[in-house]
Amino acid sequence: MFKKNLVLDASAFIGGYVPEKECNFTVSEITDEVKDLKSLMIMERAIKEGNLIIDQPDEEDVLKVESSIKNSGDNLRLSNPDKKILALALSIKKRKGNVNVITDDYSIQNALKILGIPFRSILTPGISEVYNWKKICRGCKKKFSENYLEDECDICGSPIHKKRFKSSKMKKKS
Ligand SMILES: [Zn+2]
């Protein structure tokens, strides 16, 4: 099975995303935005285990992000790390052929729409608790981790049913 390339922003870590099987990338600036200890530990372990790669976008992609945002006319409130994440997504797409961004940040999501890059969010908007997902194949009933991003089962090809359950962990305020 081919590997998906994922670019993660700070909200992915704060939302509880654990980088495991896929190729996960982020920029070094994000480590400053992740403040809570648990998210930091998950992040550091992922880096140590080689599941998270700290990378840099190409200069031309940084410029492309700047000009796209300027031309869109939207008043997007993007921090410098946000722009770096967007530029890295463009660079990874160019280098590896595919990319998906994990973010809960509306400004980043809007900018990704403008740039034509697909994204997924971790948390459902407006929900204060952290939810976990159970993913079960409708066909063969295989269970998938919440990080499995395909819509179809890799065994039988049936659609995957997502079931949400509340976790006791509270969403950290950033
Ligand atoms: Zn199945």
- State the chain's mean pLDDT as an integer: 83
Spacing, Cα 150 to ligand 1 middle (Å): 12
Q: What's the pLDDT at 6?
A: 94
Long-range CB pairs of 164-167 (<8 Å, 24+ gap) are 164/124, 164/131, 164/132, 164/133, 164/134, 165/131, 165/132, 165/133, 165/134, 166/129, 166/131, 166/132, 167/129, 167/130, 167/131, 167/132
Look at residue 2 and tell me whether its pLDDT is greater than 80.
Answer: no
pLDDT tens-digit readout, 109-125: 888 988 999 998 886 54
Spacing, Cα 167 to ligand 1 middle (Å): 26
In the chain, where the domains are located:
5-120, 129-170
Residues 6+ apart with CB under 8 A from 23: 3, 4, 5, 6, 53, 96
Spacing, Cα 140 to ligand 1 middle (Å): 4
Spacing, Cα 152 to ligand 1 middle (Å): 8
Spacing, Cα 162 to ligand 1 middle (Å): 13
Q: What's the pLDDT at 106?
A: 82
Q: How many CA atoms lie within 13 A of 66 on its CB side?
A: 8
pLDDT tens-digit readout, 33-73: 888 888 899 999 999 999 999 999 999 999 999 998 887 76
Look at residue 75 and tell me whether its pLDDT is greater than 60.
Answer: no
Spacing, Cα 127 to ligand 1 middle (Å): 30
Burial class (CB in 10 A: 0-12, 13-18, 19+), 53: middle
CATH number for region 5-120: 3.40.50.1010
Q: Report the percent of the chain where pLDDT is more than 70.
A: 84
